[in-house]
Amino acid sequence: MAAEFRGSYTVTVTPFTEDGEKIDFEALRRFLDWQVECGVPGVIILGTTGEFLTLSDEERRAYIEATVRHVDGRMHVLVGAMNAYTKKAAEYAAMAEELGADGLMILPPYYYTPTHDEIFEYYKAICAATSLPIMLYNNPFTSNVDMPATLVARLTAAFGQIRYIKEASTDVGRVFDVIRETDGVMNVFAGERIVESFLLGAVGYVDPFGNYIPRAIQALWRLLEAGRIDDAKKIQAHITKIEHTIAEGHPTYGHQCYSKALAARAGYPVGDVRAPLTTFSSLGEEGRQRLEVISGIIDELDRLVDEIEAAA
């Protein structure tokens, strides 16, 4: 029986050695143990935050194998298996299943701006290559493709493996649209606006912030499930401050380099990013100042979570 995915899943960074040349497997194991200790129900590796485009096929295989082996059933492991070439995406999906992954997260073919029929055939080929449950990944800002609710419904109706979607179009109303168009069959994971997405029916969150504040994110999701929406909003307000502080920098800085710097601040160093992304080390004083601001927000957030949990 396929696993059921619910809750806030960390879409993880990929730990590299200081020179960026190799995957740091020791850092990976420490990082995964931390996620388990914080109650994270699952990780999604080799997504956008995981710099999937920078890994060779040999690194991909070794990384999936090491992750699955070390997690050893303590939480779910989903693997990003997207590629602009359909055959390659199908091979990546089959590889993940062979190595023991619990599921897949798959972006539509990027760069080409494919038609809906081309997207359908892409997922059809992937479903033929694996029996794993698939989470669609709708992120028009990275893929140059927006999968509307009608296309999601078509895929859901055709393929029994497709029962999840990360909805990251920034149109929070799309959560409701997808659930309605699929007659409630599709399980939506928020890509942003956690509280609002939950209230519209999302069952989970694909979470980049779990790379450095996993305890707070898990507390937020527990509050939502308990109906404590106002308390959840207080945590989300701090997360929004972090997001805006990062976004004030150059757009290419993104979550990747700050996620890695903040993971190190939390005691779990994971190296820096690979080119062409801007490394945190190259940001100099600007990066250090921005990190200091974010650190202050995180300290406030930790105190808030302590207060909320003490009042429970």
Catalytic residue chosen out of the listed positions 92, 166, 205, 258: 166
On the 0-12 / 13-18 / 19+ scale of CB atoms within 10 A, 251 is: exposed
127/141 Cα distance (integer angstroms): 25
Cis peptide before 15 (omega within 30 of 0): no
Phi and psi for 157 in degrees, rounded to 5? -70, -30
82/11 Cα distance (integer angstroms): 14
49/137 Cα distance (integer angstroms): 13
Catalytic residue chosen out of the listed positions 63, 137, 253, 258: 137
On the 0-12 / 13-18 / 19+ scale of CB atoms within 10 A, 115 is: exposed
Q: Is 137 labeled as catalytic in the residue annotation?
A: yes
Which residues are catalytically annotated?
A: 137, 166
